[in-house]
Amino acid sequence: DTEVTQTPKHLVMGMTNKKSLKCEQHMGHRAMYWYKQKAKKPPELMFVYSYEKLSINESVPSRFSPECPNSSLLNLHLHALQPEDSALYLCASSQDNGELFFGEGSRLTVL
C-alpha cells in the first residue's frame, strides 16, 4: 500500500463551523505533513509531525489545529476559518530518506 488517503475530498463550511480534515497512511512512515495550496500557486508547508510529535509549525494561525492520534493518522481541525482559507489542503508522509508521498488533497471552500 503506497497511498496517502485524505477525506473528505471536498468540504464547504461557514465561518462559524468546526470541521476536520483527515489523512491516513499505512506505509510505516514516521513523518507526516500538512501543506496548503492556493489556485495556480505552489504548495506551502503548514505543519510537520515526526514520530507523532509536532516538529514544525510554519506560523500557522490557531484556527488551524493539527493532531496526530497515531503514526498512521493525521488530522487538521478547522474552526472559525476565513474565506481566504479556501484552498486545497494536501497531506503527505515520508520515511527517513525524505521522499514525500502526497494524498489527492481536500478541497476546502469557506463561505
Partner 1 sequence: GEDVEQSLFLSVREGDSSVINCTYTDSSSTYLYWYKQEPGAGLQLLTYIFSNMDMKQDQRLTVLLNKKDKHLSLRIADTQTGDSAIYFCAESYGGATNKLIFGTGTLLAVQP
* Per-residue binding letters, 44-83, with partner 1 (x by CB under 8 A): xx--x-xx---xx---------------------------
> Per CB under 8 A, does 1 bind partner 1?
no
- Three-state helix/strand/coil letters over 22-70: EEEECCCCCEEEEEEECCCCCCEEEEEEECCEEEEECCCCCCEEEEEEE
> Per CB under 8 A, does 104 bind partner 1?
yes
Q: Which residue lies nearer to partner 1 by CB, 82 or 99?
A: 99
Contacts of 77 (CB under 8 A, 6+ apart): 18, 19, 20, 64, 65, 66, 67
Residues that bind partner 1 (CB under 8 A): 4, 6, 30-31, 40-45, 48, 50-51, 55-56, 90, 92, 94, 96-105, 107
